[in-house]
């Protein structure tokens, strides 16, 4: 029994010595900054959705109070509704991502973000501001969480 254990140790030493060609190891750059289209598209979508959400969220209260004459409490209500719709759907976004699929959720929510911008230009009523901010929060939630989930899975795939 000791001879076979010794044979296994010798085999392991010979297998791991420097005479064998080295295994392909991915560099840190390949792991985190890989050139895969999915990784870059998810990064772009997450960045664009965040940028558009901040742009719409910051501009609406100013437009409501300064240009349209709404009160501070009315603009605060719109921002509160926006914040609720940004984070409340997080409980179901993962299920929606798995059920419909990440690319579909990304495309639909990204299109919603761009449509919201045109809705803000056309409807300057309290209902228009409220709905646009509510849908901005919802679209950001779907877009950002789907993009970060897609980014995570693409980086896991590139690490394998």
Confidence of residue 69 (pLDDT cuts 50, 70, 90): very high
DSSP 96-128: HHHHH-HHHHHHHHHHHHHHHHHHHHH--SHHH
- CA separation for the pair 117, 66 (Å, rounded): 19
pLDDT at 75: 94
Look at residue 130 and tell me whether its pLDDT is greater than 50: yes
pLDDT at 32: 52
- Give the tokens for residue 121: 């230009």
- The per-residue pLDDT for range 70-118, each reduced to its tens digit, is 999 999 999 999 999 999 998 988 888 889 888 888 888 878 877 887 7
- CA separation for the pair 112, 132 (Å, rounded): 10
Instruction: Considering only residues 134 and 25, tell me which one the structure prediction assigns the higher pLDDT.
Output: 134
List Cα–Cα distances, 74 to 40, 67, 81, 125, 145, in angstroms: 39, 14, 11, 11, 29
Range 53-74 average pLDDT:
91
pLDDT at 65: 94
- CA separation for the pair 66, 132 (Å, rounded): 18
pLDDT at 71: 96
Residue with tokens 């509510």: 134
Considering 40-54, 77-91, 119-133, the range whose residues carry the highest mean pLDDT is 77-91
Nearest alpha carbon to residue 136 among 69, 50, 45, 42 = 50
Instruction: Considering only residues 7 and 49, tell me which one the structure prediction assigns the higher pLDDT.
Output: 49
Residue with tokens 């295994």: 23
- The per-residue pLDDT for range 2-43, each reduced to its tens digit, is 454 444 444 444 445 555 444 555 555 555 555 567 788 888
Instruction: Considering only residues 17 and 152, tell me which one the structure prediction assigns the higher pLDDT.
Output: 152
pTM over 0.85, yes/no: no
């Amino acid at each position: 029994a000791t001879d076979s254990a010794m044979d296994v140790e010798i085999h392991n030493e010979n297998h791991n010595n420097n005479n064998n060609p080295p295994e392909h190891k991915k560099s840190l750059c390949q792991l985190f900054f890989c050139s895969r289209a999915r990784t870059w598209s998810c990064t772009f979508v997450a960045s664009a959705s965040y940028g558009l959400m901040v742009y719409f969220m910051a501009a609406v209260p100013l437009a409501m109070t300064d240009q349209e004459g709404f009160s501070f409490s009315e603009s605060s209500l719109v921002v509160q509704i926006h914040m609720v719709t940004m984070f409340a759907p997080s409980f179901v976004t993962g299920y929606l991502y798995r059920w419909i699929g990440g690319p579909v959720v990304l495309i639909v929510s990204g299109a919603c973000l761009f449509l919201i911008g045109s809705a803000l230009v056309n409807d300057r009523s309290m209902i228009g501001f409220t709905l646009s901010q509510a849908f901005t929060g919802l679209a950001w939630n779907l877009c950002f969480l789907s993009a970060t989930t897609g980014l995570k899975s693409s980086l896991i795939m590139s690490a394998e």
